[in-house]
Amino acid sequence: MDLLRAWILAAVVYLPLNFVLSVTIGYSLYWLYILCPILAAVAASWYHAERGVGGWARHLLAVLPVPIVLNGYWSLLQQIPSTAEQWGDFAMALAQAGILAAVGLGLVMLTRLLLGEQGE
């Protein structure tokens, strides 16, 4: 159940943020869209680190899939790949979301580590 809640929380962060960015700035500042997978991963990682059970594999399963799937879905909405170049772009969108989600996970874990050392 903790995985499902982490996934829902990540989607609740990702989708409205993506919508707000689309409505307010459009694609003129496209690099701001990196906030969507990062903040979704931060939210899921924070929740799962506090309430979840299991080790690192389960934590990665709680954090990484939603930003990757949502970014892939958004990429498919823009253009369905038909050539090798377009499939490469789609794969890059998935890889980019995975890397950005890992950055969000790393931010939460680094913060927990630093605050844990400070509390001792």
At residue 120, the pLDDT reads: 63
pLDDT tens over the chain, length 120 residues: 889 999 999 999 999 999 999 999 988 888 999 999 999 999 999 999 998 888 889 999 999 999 999 999 998 988 899 999 999 999 999 999 999 999 999 999 999 899 887 766
Nearest Cα residue to 101 out of 43, 52, 57: 43
Contacts of 26 (CB under 8 A, 6+ apart): none
Full domain range(s) for residue 27? 2-119
For the chain, the domain total comes to 1
Exposed/middle/buried for 120, CB within 10 Å: 0-12, 13-18, 19+?
exposed
